[in-house]
Chains A and B, each alone.
Chain A
Amino acid sequence: MMVAEQLDAVFGALADPTRRAILARLRRGEATVGELAAPFEVSQPAISRHLKVLEQAGLISRTRRATARLSHLRAEPLREATVWLAGYREFWEESYERLDELLATLQEQDGKKETIRSRPRDRSRRKGRRTS
Chain B
Amino acid sequence: MTEMQITAAPGVPQVLTSRTFDAPRELVYRAFTEPDLLAQWLGPRRYRMTIDRFDLRDGGTWRYVHSDDAGNAFGFHGVFHGEASPDGIVQTFEFEGAPGHVSMDTVTFEETDGRTTVRTNSLFQSVEARDAMVGSGMASGMSEGYERLEDLLAKLIANA
Contacts and interface: CB of A to CB of B under 8 A. Distances in A.
A14 B149 CA distance: 13
Interface residues of A, number: 44
Contacts of B159: 17, 20
Given A7-B131, A21-B160, A89 B6 contact: yes
Contact of A91 (B23, B44, B145, B146): B44
Interface in A31-62: none
B144 interface: yes
A12 B1 CA distance: 29
Contact of A11 (B9, B136, B156): B9
Interface string B1-41: 10010101111000101010111000110110000010011
Contacts of A12: 10-11
Given A86-B137, A86-B144, A107-B27, A92 B4 contact: yes
B32 to A, nearest CB: 9
A68 interface: no
Chain A at the B interface: mostly helix, strand, loop or mixed? helix
Interface residues of B, number: 47
B152 A82 contact: yes
B140 interface: yes
B148 A86 contact: yes
Interface in A79-98: 79, 82-96, 98
A119 interface: no
B153 interface: yes
B98 to A, nearest CB: 15
A94 B137 CA distance: 13
Given A94-B44, A96-B21, A106-B23, 17 more contacts: A7-B131, A12-B11, A23-B156, A79-B146, A82-B149, A86-B142, A87-B135, A88-B140, A89-B4, A90-B44, A92-B6, A95-B41, A95-B42, A98-B41, A103-B21, A103-B28, A107-B27
Interface of B: 1, 4, 6, 8-11, 15, 17, 19, 21-23, 27-28, 30-31, 37, 40-45, 127-128, 131, 134-142, 144-146, 148-149, 152-153, 156-157, 159-160
